[in-house]
C-alpha cells in the first residue's frame, strides 16, 4: 500500500479552521463590547432613580423659580444657567433648594433651552467635566420652545428632563 503525502492538505485545513475560529472570536468580542457599552450607558444615563430626582427638582422649580429662570435665559440670550449654587437671584427659598440638591446628591445642574445645539457647539468653552460634556452630546435635541434640566450627580450618573411651559 502506497502512502500519499497529505502534509499540504493538513496545513491548509489548519489555516482555514484557524481563520474561521479567529473570525468568530472577533465577532463575539465586538458584540460583547457593544453590549457592555450600552449597558454602562443605560446605567449612567437617565436611569429611573435619577429621573425621579430630576422630576422633584423640576416640580420645585415650577412652584416659583421657573419664571425667573426662563426670563433670564430669554432676555440675556444665555446658553444655560448653572443653578447648582441655588442663588437667591433665582430662588426665594434658596435654603430649601440647597437641601433638595444635597438630598439628591447633585453635583451640577444646568437649566437650558430645549434646543441645545448651540450648547453642544460651545462645549469646549464651558467649564464642565468631560463626562458631562459627553452626556450633553448624547442628548437628542428638538427645536421646541421649551426648557430642559441637565443634572450631573456625584456618583457620575446623569439625567435630563424637559420642562414644558
pLDDT at 8 over 70: no
Cα–Cα nearest to 136, from 123, 153, 147, 155: 123
Please state, in angstroms and rounded to a whole number, the distance separating the CA atoms of residues 91 and 152: 20
Report the pLDDT value the prediction gives residue 5, as an integer from 0 to 100.
Answer: 61
How many other C-beta atoms lie within 10 A of the C-beta of residue 114? 17
Calpha distance 46→42 (Å, rounded): 7
Q: How confident is the model at residue 28 (pLDDT cuts 50, 70, 90)?
A: very high
In contact, 147 and 163? CB cutoff 8 Å: yes
Per-residue pLDDT at 64: 80
pLDDT of amino acid 23: 94
**Beta sheet of 80-82, edge-to-edge order:** 80-82, 106-113, 147-153, 158-163
Residue 3 pLDDT more than 60? no
Reply yes or no on whether the pLDDT at 19 is more than 90.
yes
d(CA 56, CA 95): 16
pTM value is: 0.76
Task: Please write the tens of the pLDDT for every residue from 109-139.
Answer: 999 988 888 888 888 888 888 999 999 988 8
Q: Please enumerate in sequence order all residues whose Cβ is within 8 A of that of 51, keeping only pairs 6 or more positions apart, or say none.
A: 159, 161
pLDDT class for 25, splitting at 50, 70, 90? very high
Amino acid at each position: 500500500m502506497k502512502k500519499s503525502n497529505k502534509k499540504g492538505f493538513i496545513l491548509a485545513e489548519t489555516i482555514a479552521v484557524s481563520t474561521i475560529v479567529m473570525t468568530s472570536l472577533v465577532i463575539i468580542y465586538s458584540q460583547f463590547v457593544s453590549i457592555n457599552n450600552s449597558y454602562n450607558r443605560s446605567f449612567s444615563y437617565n436611569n429611573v432613580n435619577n429621573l425621579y430626582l430630576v422630576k422633584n427638582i423640576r416640580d420645585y422649580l415650577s412652584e416659583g423659580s421657573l419664571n425667573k429662570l426662563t426670563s433670564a435665559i430669554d432676555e440675556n440670550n444665555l446658553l444655560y444657567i448653572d443653578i447648582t449654587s441655588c442663588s437667591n437671584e433665582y430662588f426665594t427659598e434658596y435654603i430649601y433648594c440647597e437641601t433638595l440638591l444635597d438630598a439628591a446628591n447633585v453635583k451640577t445642574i444646568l437649566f437650558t433651552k430645549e434646543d441645545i445645539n448651540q450648547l453642544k457647539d460651545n462645549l469646549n468653552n464651558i467649564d464642565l467635566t468631560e463626562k458631562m460634556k459627553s452626556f450633553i452630546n448624547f442628548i437628542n435635541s428638538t427645536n421646541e420652545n421649551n426648557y430642559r434640566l441637565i443634572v450631573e450627580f456625584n456618583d457620575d450618573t446623569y439625567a435630563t428632563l424637559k420642562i414644558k411651559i
